[in-house]
Amino acid sequence: MSASVALAGISPASPPPATLPATAGRITFAGVSKFYGEVLGINRVHLSIPPGITSLVGPNGSGKTTLMNLMVGLLKPTEGDIRVLGIPTHRPEELFRLVGYSTQYDAFPRCLSGWQFVYSYLRVHGRSHAEAEALAAKAIERVGLMEAAPRKVAGYSKGMRQRIKLAQAMAHEPTVLILDEPLNGLDPMARAEVIGLFRDLAAAGLYVLVSSHILHEVDRISDQVILLNGGYVVAEGKIQGVREEMEQHPMQIAVRCDRPSLLAARAFEEDHVVEVKIAPDRRGLLVSTRDADGFYLLLNRVVLETGLVVEAVAPADADVQSVYQYLIGSNGGKA
Amino acid sequence: MSAEPLSTLSTTPAPPPPPSIARGLPWDLYRRQVAAILGLEVRKGFFGKRALGVYFLALMPVTILALRAIVSRAFGSHSDPVEVARTFAISFQTFFLRLVIFFGCVEVFGNLIRREMLERTLHYYFLSPVRREVLAAAKYLTGLLVSFTLFGGATIASFFFAYLPCGLGAFFHDFGQLLAYVGVAFLACLGYGAVFLTFGFFFKSPAIPAVIVFGWEAINFLLPPFLKKISMIHYLESLCPVSVPLGPFAIPADAPSPWVAIPGIFLLTAVLLAISARKIRQLEISYEED
């Protein structure tokens, strides 16, 4: 699949402008491609990412990590231009005052304790001893590892290693936090805590970019998503908006009401309604429609005309998992 | 995993870069970053089991000469200082320079970048606000500090044990020679260090190029004069205070003067460090391919 679904939450990416304006407040990719020899990493990517939590979603090998590595200059684009809040990625001395990146590599410098790991790289940033100590303590406390901090990282569990990496990435209080599979290896409790942390960071105005295979959690945390497949961006924006743009897949709307048969009969009179299924308990129905707004208007009319009692109305397939399934064609590795 | 809850945070925007960045090169920041990298590198690389090989190399000549001194003392034999000077010169030029310092530098400098690639930890530096050239310089200085401390120290200790059977009078009489040997050891670490740091960017394993360079340096005495000039050992030997016979098959050549040899080694080092700086600037992190 190569065509990108039109943007619904982020600024338009298709057709791409020759140069992206107002790059200073966004993370921008302008016509970026990356090839490893003849192997495609990502191709012709145009993005403009605002603050908030943005999730990168796609199957293995879709280009998520390549995109992240390009964003921080660990890889250089074969063509195109990348800027993070206006800073080109080949200037690490400026870039990494604003950016923190927790990679997927589960590797740590030898012989260091969790505390030394976070503290030492703050010193490498050029921070004074006192500053580095204060920032390291704050970051380690945020991820709940103060007790384990004096122990060698080599003795940590997978979840603790993920958390200390997270602490190291955000210890210098960056504006942009990029996290490659940050929920891997975390138990459910820790996941919930880390997701809460991401939300706090996003609420404070940070740019939080997260790649994840765990679609229902992506759904819970994302302000916007970028769906990748085979090195191409296949969709991006707020998930609801992305879903609405997918006209070839009728929207599914679930309605809980007292007389589903009446509503079903009225729905079938509309051209845009493709399918209606009555719920087995006969207390609701599932409508497939090519015009969600048209259906909501119909529903209002039926309520007014017949006194239909409606308990709940909700889109049934406007989540990341459904969009992923429609666009990429698998269940996205449900977890 | 600790069950401590994640604390709520109050994030503040990252501090702006130091104003000196806008005005020019922030030398004070570079100095702090180099010091921090140096401390971290020494802790990571030279206080663990992985450093045992380098310690072994440095201690080998010291141990041999110490045992020789003990045996001489035990048997009450007294050595001739002229003979000791000649013997030390041979052992320094054939064993110390060509083997101990050479392979010590292969181990120390050849792994400064390459080992971090293999262990997948180089990205932590690359994700810090450090100019890559500053990182290369800091890594090189770490190697130089460690190798010179070890091999310079080993030179001093070996010289002391070599002269011990002659007494302290002879040791202090030839103290000028010791300073020259320490200087040569420093230049050897400087030059070979730059060579193997640079090789670390071009080769996955430093062993193969090291063996090739070792072979080239080993047959230096057989090479025609114009080829001798493109080997490090030719310049280092010319700076040693006592010359040694090279054997019947050696092709004689004029030794370069110190005014050529010393600046030549510094120039070569500068060129190689410039190449390393360029390579590290272009380096991508793609551990899967390594």
B290 and chain A: CB distance < 8 Å anywhere? no
Kindly indicate the confidence band of residue B224, based on its pLDDT and cuts at 50, 70 and 90.
confident
Residue A175: its pLDDT value, please? 95
| DSSP track, A159-223 | HHHHHHHHHHHHTT--SEEEEESTTTT--HHHHHHHHHHHHHHHHTT-EEEEE-S-HHHHHHH-S
Residue A56: closest CA among A15, A91, A101, A118:
A101
* For A189, nearest residue in chain B (alpha carbons): B3
B249 and chain A: CB distance < 8 Å anywhere? no
Q: Do A107 and B121 touch (CB under 8 A)?
A: yes
* For B130, nearest residue in chain A (alpha carbons): A93
Distance set, CA B52 to CA A33, B57, B146, B208 (Å): 45, 9, 13, 21
User: Is it the case that residue B26 has pLDDT exceeding 50?
Assistant: yes
Of B2, B48, B282, the CB nearest to A144: B2
Is the distance from CB of A252 to CB of A286 less than 8 angstroms?
yes
For chain B positions 10-29, those within 8 Å of chain A (CB to CB) are 10-18, 21, 29
Residue A189: its pLDDT value, please? 86
Is the distance from CB of B168 to CB of B81 less than 8 angstroms?
no
Q: Do A123 and B15 touch (CB under 8 A)?
A: no
User: Is it the case that residue B252 has pLDDT exceeding 90?
Assistant: no
Q: Do B131 and A93 touch (CB under 8 A)?
A: yes
Least confident stretch, B24-33, B40-49, B180-189? B40-49
Residues of chain B contacting residue A93, judged by C-beta atoms under 8 Å apart? 17, 21, 129-131
User: Is it the case that residue B254 has pLDDT exceeding 70?
Assistant: yes
Question: Which residue blocks in chain A are alpha helix, DSSP H?
Answer: 64-71, 92-98, 114-124, 129-142, 158-170, 188-203, 215-221, 239-245, 260-268, 292-306, 320-328
Of B7, B13, B128, the CB nearest to A96: B128
* For A109, nearest residue in chain B (alpha carbons): B121
Q: How far is B269 from chain A (nearest CA, A)?
A: 25
B128 and chain A: CB distance < 8 Å anywhere? yes
Residues of chain A contacting residue B121, judged by C-beta atoms under 8 Å apart? 107-109
Q: Do B287 and A206 touch (CB under 8 A)?
A: no
Query: Which of A268-277, A278-287, B144-153, B166-175 holds the top average pLDDT?
Result: B144-153
Q: What is the pTM of this model?
A: 0.82
Identify the residue with better confidence: B249 or A283: A283
Question: What is the largest distance, in Å, between two alpha-carbon atoms of chain B?
Answer: 79
Residue A330: its pLDDT value, please? 57
- Give the integer Cα–Cα distance in Å for B199 and B202: 5
Kindly indicate the confidence band of residue A15, based on its pLDDT and cuts at 50, 70 and 90.
very low
* For B28, nearest residue in chain A (alpha carbons): A126
User: Is it the case that residue B103 has pLDDT exceeding 90?
Assistant: yes
User: Is it the case that residue A19 has pLDDT exceeding 70?
Assistant: no
Q: Do B127 and A147 touch (CB under 8 A)?
A: no
Q: How far is CA A200 from the centre of its chain?
A: 15
Kindly indicate the confidence band of residue B288, based on its pLDDT and cuts at 50, 70 and 90.
low
pLDDT, mean of residues A297-307? 91
User: Is it the case that residue A12 has pLDDT exceeding 70?
Assistant: no
Averaged confidence pLDDT in chain A: 86
Of A92, A163, A205, the CB nearest to B132: A92
User: Is it the case that residue A253 has pLDDT exceeding 50?
Assistant: yes
pLDDT, mean of residues A158-176? 94
pLDDT, mean of residues A238-261? 81
User: Is it the case that residue B176 has pLDDT exceeding 90?
Assistant: yes
Is the distance from CB of B239 to CB of B180 less than 8 angstroms?
yes
For chain B positions 136-165, those within 8 Å of chain A (CB to CB) are none
- Give the integer Cα–Cα distance in Å for A29 and A66: 13
Distance set, CA A292 to CA A239, A313, A322, B285 (Å): 15, 12, 16, 47
- Give the integer Cα–Cα distance in Å for A61 and A54: 19
Identify the residue with better confidence: B204 or B284: B284
* For A99, nearest residue in chain B (alpha carbons): B127
Q: How far is B123 from chain A (nearest CA, A)?
A: 7
In this structure, how many other beta carbons lie within 10 angstroms of the beta carbon of residue A38? 5
Ordered by start, the domain boundaries in chain B are 26-285
User: Is it the case that residue A20 has pLDDT exceeding 60?
Assistant: no
Residue A59: its pLDDT value, please? 84
Residues written for chain A: 335
Q: Do B6 and A193 touch (CB under 8 A)?
A: yes
Residues of chain B contacting residue A201, judged by C-beta atoms under 8 Å apart? 9, 11
Kindly indicate the confidence band of residue B23, based on its pLDDT and cuts at 50, 70 and 90.
low
B9 and chain A: CB distance < 8 Å anywhere? yes
Of A147, A172, A194, the CB nearest to B4: A147
Kindly indicate the confidence band of residue A331, based on its pLDDT and cuts at 50, 70 and 90.
low
Residue B6: its pLDDT value, please? 42
Q: From start to end of B132-201, where are the E strands?
A: none
Whole-complex ipTM: 0.83
Residue A17: its pLDDT value, please? 42
Phi, psi dihedral angles at A285 (to 5 degrees): -150, 160
- Output the six-digit token pair for B108: 């120390």
Compute the 3-state secondary structure of chain A and give helix, strand, coil in percent, each to the nearest 5. 35, 25, 35
Residue B17: its pLDDT value, please? 52
Distance set, CA B77 to CA A16, B63, B70, B164 (Å): 88, 19, 10, 11
Residues of chain A contacting residue B46, judged by C-beta atoms under 8 Å apart? none
Write B119-123 long-range contacts (CB < 8 A, 24+): B119/A107, B119/A109, B119/A110, B120/A105, B120/A107, B120/B287, B121/A107, B121/A108, B121/A109, B122/B285, B123/A74, B123/A103, B123/A105, B123/B285
Identify the residue with better confidence: A184 or A172: A172
Q: Do A110 and B15 touch (CB under 8 A)?
A: no
Residue A191: its pLDDT value, please? 85
Kindly indicate the confidence band of residue A8, based on its pLDDT and cuts at 50, 70 and 90.
very low
For chain B positions 60-119, those within 8 Å of chain A (CB to CB) are 119
Is the distance from CB of B127 to CB of A71 less than 8 angstroms?
no
B289 and chain A: CB distance < 8 Å anywhere? yes
Averaged confidence pLDDT in chain B: 87
User: Is it the case that residue A4 has pLDDT exceeding 60?
Assistant: no
User: Is it the case that residue B5 has pLDDT exceeding 90?
Assistant: no
pLDDT, mean of residues B36-43? 93
Query: Count of A–B CB contacts within 8 Å?
Result: 152
- Output the six-digit token pair for A5: 């679904």
User: Is it the case that residue A335 has pLDDT exceeding 60?
Assistant: no
Phi, psi dihedral angles at A238 (to 5 degrees): -70, 140
Taking each helix axis from N to C end, the angle separating B132-163 and B258-282, rounded to the nearest 10 degrees, works out to 140
User: Is it the case that residue B152 has pLDDT exceeding 90?
Assistant: yes
Is the distance from CB of A45 to CB of A80 less than 8 angstroms?
yes
- Give pLDDT tens digits for B51-94: 899 999 999 999 999 998 888 888 877 778 888 999 999 999 99
Kindly indicate the confidence band of residue A23, based on its pLDDT and cuts at 50, 70 and 90.
low
Handedness of CA B190, B194, B200, B206 (dihedral sign): negative
Least confident stretch, A207-221, B19-33, B126-140? B19-33
Type of residue at A303: V
Give me the sheet containing A207-211, strands edge to edge.
A99-102, A176-180, A207-211, A52-57, A224-229, A232-237
Residue A240: its pLDDT value, please? 72
Identify the residue with better confidence: A239 or B60: B60
